[in-house]
Chain A
Amino acid sequence: MSNELLYLWSDNLTASVSIWFMLIVFVLYLGRQQAHQLFRSTGRAVFSSLRVWGMTLHKLEQKLMKRNREILLNEGARAAEKSIEREFSRVNDLVQRDLSQYPSLHREITETIETIEKDYQNSSDVTPLPPAWGEVVETISNLPNNGDSTVNKILMNIKKAVEDSHQQTLKAYKKAATERHGLLASMQPDWRKLSNKLGSVNEKITGLDERTKAIDSQMANYKAIREETDQAVSSLGSSALTQFFISGLVLIVAALGGLINFQLIAMPMSEMVGGTSYIGDMKTSDIAALVIILVEIAMGLFLLESLRVTHLFPMIGSMDDKMRRRMMIISFTILFILAGIEASLAYMRDLLALDREALQQSLTGIGATNANAEFRWIPSIGQMTMGFILPFALAFIAIPLESFIHSLRTVLGSLAIGMVRALRVIVRMTGGIINHLSKMLVSLYDLIIMLPLSAELIVKKYSGKSSPDDNQNDESTNSYSKNRRGNKEVKALKSSTGKAASDNA
């Protein structure tokens, strides 16, 4: 059929194709205006609709960014509040623990000071120096000796009395000086005591000072969050991302621990619930082992929640202390029992493995070997210990889980923003490309019909007329850009009017 059409005009292929080409070019020339309009309107329509899509996506992106920012700031503010609260609580503890003893400390210091003062006063009571008996004795000694024995005797007596008196006074003075030295020496431990007390006061005051500095730093951070500064948002965002990766890593480690735990109890569990029944494609015994591990994790969550370490369940957090304590005891008891069950299952696993090993040996004809039988208890104890410890280790999964969930919100928000942004860019690019393609098609169309167009131009040139079609096309080509320019001008006018009005106000 196509061959018949091809050779419709002539048996010569070239001639027939040439005729077909000329016919097509002529038809295309006739429909030039309509074709141009079709290309331009289609391109413009697609471009406009994609532009609208781009704007919608931009709004969505803005909304998401705003929401993400709000979440980040709220989370950050809450964390900062908690941190400040904790710091105040520490300060309170410090004040209660250390400064509550301050009155007694003050009394002790006062008493020590009083003792020192008293001792000082006592030591300051100066014993009068011995009178100048020496001069009297010297004067008496220098008196002229007339040979009168009576006078001599009197003088000698006087001299002796004076000397005795001098000796006594000197003795009393020395004694008083020794006492004063003793008092001053007894002041030394009091001084040391006073120094120690003042040192401890200094330490406490320094501790408080450090806490207040930490509070100042936290308050500055909190203030920045409350003021919604970009720096605070950026810091919170990077912090959330870090938290996400760290908690994710810890969760992976915990998952591996859970896997080990599962391997430890899955086989002996088939001894309890049977190894033949299936739920879906999974053995019931495997599901039972998995359930035990999940229950342990749940109990760990409840335990840490009731200890107020995590805050995943507001209901538990808002319970009164008595109820919370009960819940804590119950969840710990269940966790302990499950850990005991796991330890026994781990032991059973060891027994089953031994039994299976013995069977395999008898089937292969090797016979049971007693090699290293005396050390068989080591892996048994190891498995039992692992079975007991792993549930408690898994219980702590609640902490990274909470961190992961909190940071996941922010990370998902950021991912959504990134995706919307990428989509917006793609939409805008596609719109631009389609618009450009429509223009290219117009030119390509003219390129195909360039012969009649050139002929038309030559005719016009000689006749001195211009085709109304061209004007129309030119107008239609320029109308869009004019409209856009006009819109921009109106917008600029509006904004300038608004600014002027605000200036006037």
Chain B
Amino acid sequence: MRILKPLSMIIVIIGLQLLITGCGKSKPNNRAVYFLIDTSGTYTEELNKAQAIMNYLLATLDSGDSIAMARIDSGSFSEKDIIAKANFDARPSTANDQKRLFKHKVDDFVANISRGSANTDITGAVLQAAEFVNEAGAGEKYVLIFSDLEEDLQKGHIRDFPIDLKGINVVALNVTKLRTDNIDPRDYQERLSNWQQRVVQGGGEWRVLNDLERLENLIVMR
């Protein structure tokens, strides 16, 4: 009988240890968001909308989440196109400071951009975004594309290959209709369906959100 008491204590301790280690291996709860903004042609005029979306994201994301904002230009598969990025600290006060700094960088970028890029390398930007969100090891991964989805590659750039987007939510935001789309709306639909096909084939999930009044549907609230 004397041995029963320490034995039961050991069992309880082992049980607690297993519980703690078992719980530690649960799925991460953080989110990683990569926000791509098209800076080609007349899309620079839409940047204030992109700024509003970014502010919404900053207000929604919390400690432990990651965020990056990058521009889509002629050759976007590059870290140079990243305007700002941050992994929010575990402490809420520090995370708030990071958000302020991030906002400051974005505001600077929007204020200083003078002219749009000559070409639009959306595929390269999406590849860069996938790399970032996968590295963040987040539980929920989002790539937000603020563009008309009309890809215009520089000569010599190869982008016609499948993209690995497994577990990534790709959301097209504010997909504006081009002048040609008005002549034949099938062009617009074809453009969207092409991108949907690429994303779904890559293992990702595709959504389109044109009404910016419904931003609450953008990412899962916690």
Q: Quick one: which of B23, B55, B62 contacts A364, CB cutoff 8 A?
A: B55
From B58, B92, B100, B103, name the one whose CB has the most chain A CB atoms within 10 angstroms: B92
Do B63 and A274 touch across chains, with their CB atoms under 8 A apart?
Answer: yes
> Is B64 touching A271 in the complex (CB atoms < 8 A)?
no
Provide the residues of chain B in CB contact with A271, threshold 8 Å.
91-93
CB-CB contacts below 8 Å: A230-269 with B: 267
Of the residues A274, A280, A363, contact of B90 by C-beta under 8 Å: A274
Q: How far is the CA of A277 from the CA of B24 in the complex (A)?
A: 9
Is B20 part of the contact surface with A, judged by Cβ < 8 Å? yes
A274 touches B91 (CB 8 A): yes
- The contact of B93 among A278, A281, A352, by CB within 8 Å, is A352
Minimum distance in angstroms from A311 CB to a CB of chain B: 24
Q: Is B59 an interface residue (CB 8 A)?
A: yes
Known A267-B92, A362-B100, A363-B58: A279·B23 in contact at CB below 8 Å = yes
Q: How far is the CA of A233 from the CA of B90 in the complex (A)?
A: 60
Which of A270, A276, A280 is B30 in contact with, Cβ under 8 Å? A276
**Bound CA–CA A281/B64 (angstroms):** 15
Query: Does chain A have a CB within 8 A of B26?
Result: yes
Q: Across the interface, do A359 and B63 meet the contact criterion of CB distance under 8 Å?
A: no
Chain A min CB distance to B102 (Å) = 10
Q: Say yes or no for A477: interface residue by CB 8 A criterion.
A: no
Do A277 and B100 touch (CB < 8 A)?
no
Nearest chain B CB to A347 CB, angstrom units: 13
Number of B interface residues, CB 8 Å? 21
Cα distance, A271 to B59, chains bound together (Å)? 18
What CA separation (Å) do A5 and B92 show in the bound complex?
82
Is A168's beta carbon under 8 Å from chain B? no
Known A270-B63, A363-B59: A355·B30 in contact at CB below 8 Å: no
B174 proximal to A (CB < 8 A): no
Interface of A, helix, strand, loop or mixed by DSSP: helix
Whose C-beta in chain B lies nearest to the C-beta of A280? Answer: B23
Q: Are A363 and B63 in contact (CB under 8 A)?
A: no
Considering the complex, give the chain B residue whose CB is closest to the CB of A278.
Answer: B29
- Would B58 and A275 count as touching, CB distance under 8 A? no
A277-B99 Cα distance, complex, nearest whole Å: 20
| Contact between A277 and B90, CB atoms less than 8 A apart | yes
Contacts of B96 in A (CB 8 A): 355-356, 359
Give complex CA distance A278, B26 in Å: 8
For the complex, is A62 an interface residue (Cβ under 8 Å from B)? Answer: no
CB-CB < 8 A to A363: which residues of B?
Answer: 55-56, 58-59, 99, 103
User: In the complex, what distance in Å separates the CA atom of A274 from the CA atom of B89?
Assistant: 8
Q: A152 an interface residue at 8 Å Cβ cutoff?
A: no
Given B59, B92, B99, which contacts A275 in the complex, CB threshold below 8 Å?
A: B92
- Report if A195 contacts B (CB, 8 A): no
Which of A275, A278, A279, A364 contacts B91, CB < 8 Å?
A275
Residue in chain A with minimal CB distance to B95: A275
Residues of A at the B interface (CB closer than 8 Å) are 267, 270-271, 274-281, 352, 355-356, 359-360, 362-365
B contacts, CB < 8 Å to A: 20, 23-24, 26, 29-30, 55-56, 58-59, 62-64, 90-93, 96, 99-100, 103
Please list 5 pairs of residues, one from A and one from B, whose beta carbons are closer than 8 Å in the complex, sorted by A's number: A275-B91, A276-B30, A276-B90, A359-B100, A363-B99
- A270-B92, A359-B99, A363-B56 given; name 5 further pairs at CB < 8 Å: A274-B90, A279-B24, A280-B23, A363-B58, A363-B99
> Top 3 nearest A-B pairs by Cβ distance?
A276-B64, A274-B90, A275-B63
